[in-house]
Amino acid sequence: MNTIEEKLWNYIDGTCTPAEQEAIARLIEQDELYKQKYTELLVLNQEFASMELDEPSMAFSYNVLEAIRAEQLAPLKSTINKKIILGIAAFFVLSILALLIVILSNVKISGNLFSGLDVKLPASLKLPSASSIFNSTLMKSFFVFDVILALFLTDSYLRRKKAAKEA
Amino acid sequence: MQSKLSDIELIEQTLAGNQFAYADLVKRHQRFVFTLAMRFAKGREDAEEIAQDCFVKAYRSLASFQGQSKFSTWLYSIVYTTAMTFLRKKRVDTDSIDDEGTFVQIESHESAYDTNNVENKSRSYYLNQAIEQLLPDDATIITLFYKGEQSLEEIAQTMGIETNTVKVKLFRARQRLKEKLERNLKHEVKELI
């Protein structure tokens, strides 16, 4: 059951139904208690609405932007790229499928479901030998490229760090 | 001078890489965000830290803002979550920050100092003093309703509660605020006599 104050606040806020609104308006008109309480709450409502907002320091917005710059933040638009996530997912799915195909093609299954299946696993899988991969010229040039790339990235990182320290 | 562009237009410009557009957004909302932070922190330094943290968080996840609600509602929900986390952390440090008595005690200490300037005090001073004595949730609801131009539904969204609960909480918060306001005014009259 709503108290008088609750009903009147709903009336002031306009959160009651049109029928309730009409009934409360009639009560305010006819009932002295309702009228008195309503006037009191209206004054209070006006007073609450006059509250003042606090003011942050003058440098507030500057500090926010500095914090953003310090973290070198970019809005997530550039970082969450669904295409990249889908690409990574597709790579893993394709890899798993390729592995499954290789394995299944090496397994020999004979017989039928009623008489029983005879599954023969291969004694060994024919995979390219690791030594031939690592000794190939292509692999060696790949490693050299990686080392040069790592050196270049480390150098640019250290330069950035030094510049930030000097600034 | 603040931009005349809408919040959505400023967000679009920010996402396109214009940081000045975000500065305009910050300037537009900083007073309210800071006031909300003050409802929890009770100290300007902590409140500025919370408010700054909120704007940085909002910037980080600006692209996830879908525009289904007002930007202010979305921003205030970040403020509310951040401030609640701050309060929880503070509670661990001080053991009883959520205790209403703590706030009353802190405030009454301040008011003892302020009674020297009692002639300069206005009704708005007493109102702000009474709001500061409320529990953070009550003060937040009152501020969001009267100054945040937020409907009951939007307040519910900001605080992560039901609209009906907001209605009940708002009613109780108003009652408590009225009581505190009356008590403070009575106290000041006694001081004057």
Give the DSSP per-residue string, A25-93. Answer: HHHHHH-HHHHHHHHHHHHHHHHHHTPPPP---TTHHHHHHHHHHHTT---TTTT--HHHHHHHHHHHH
Note whether B31 contacts A56, CB cutoff 8 Å. Answer: yes
Strand partners, A118: A110
Residue in B19, B35, B52 closest to A54 by CB: B35
Averaged pLDDT, A26-43: 92
Which residues on B lie below 8 Å from A72 (Cβ)? none
ipTM for the whole complex: 0.73
Q: Which residue of B has its CA nearest to A69?
A: B19
Long-range contacts of B176-184 (CB under 8 A, 24+ apart): B176/B134, B176/B135, B176/B138, B177/A48, B177/B130, B177/B131, B177/B134, B177/B138, B177/B142, B178/A44, B180/B130, B180/B133, B180/B134, B181/A47, B181/B126, B181/B127, B181/B130, B184/B111, B184/B126, B184/B129, B184/B130, B184/B133
- pLDDT at position A60 is 92
Which member of B27, B63, B124 has the closest CB to residue A51? B124
Instruction: Choose between A11 and B95: higher pLDDT.
Output: A11
- A112 in helix, strand or coil? strand
Residue B115 has pLDDT above 60, yes or no: no
How far the first Cα of chain A sits from its last, in Å, is 67
Query: B32 and B124 in contact (C-beta within 8 Å)?
Result: no
Q: Could you give all domains of chain B from N- to C-terminal order, each with its CATH number?
A: 1-95 (1.10.1740.10), 99-193 (1.10.10.10)
- Cα distance from A7 to chain B (closest Cα, Å)? 10
Least confident of A20-29, A131-140, B69-78, B156-165: A131-140
Mean of the pLDDT values across residues A49-77?
Answer: 82
What confidence tens digit (pLDDT) does each residue in B132-184 have? 899 999 999 999 999 888 889 999 999 999 999 999 999 999 999 999 988 88
In angstroms, the CA B178 to CA A165 distance is: 55
The predicted model gives A31-39 an average pLDDT of: 93
Determine the pLDDT at residue B71: 92
At residue B49's C-alpha, the angle toward residues B46 and B52, to 5°, is 150
Q: CB of B75 within 8 A of CB of B57?
A: no
Residue closest to B71 by CA, chosen among B142, B166, B149? B149
Here the tokens at position A89 are 């997912």
Cα distance between residue A51 and residue B146, in whole Å: 8
A9, A52, A73 ranked by CB distance to B59: nearest: A73
pLDDT of the residue at B190: 63
Residues of B in contact with A49 (CB under 8 A): 146
Name the closest residue on chain B to residue A48, using Cα atoms: B146
Q: Which of B14, B30, B131 sits opposite A51 (nearest CB)?
A: B131
Mean pLDDT, residues B47-51 taken together: 94
- Chain A CB contacts of B30 under 8 Å are 56, 60-61
Dump pLDDT digits (tens) for B59-94. 988 888 888 889 999 999 999 999 999 988 877 666
**Chain B: which residues have CB within 8 Å of chain A?**
14-15, 19, 22-23, 26-27, 30-32, 34-35, 38, 44, 47-48, 51-52, 55-56, 59-64, 123-124, 127-128, 131, 142-143, 146-147, 152, 167, 170-171, 174-175, 177-178, 181
Question: Which has more pLDDT, A152 or B108?
Answer: A152
CA atoms of B127 and B125, how far apart (whole Å): 5
Average pLDDT over residues A51-66: 90
Tens-digit pLDDT profile for residues B23-38: 999 999 999 999 999 9
Partner-chain residue, chosen from A47, A56, A73, that has the shortest CB–CB distance to B34 = A56
- φ, ψ of residue A117 in degrees (nearest 5): -90, 140
Answer whether residue B6 shows pLDDT above 60: yes
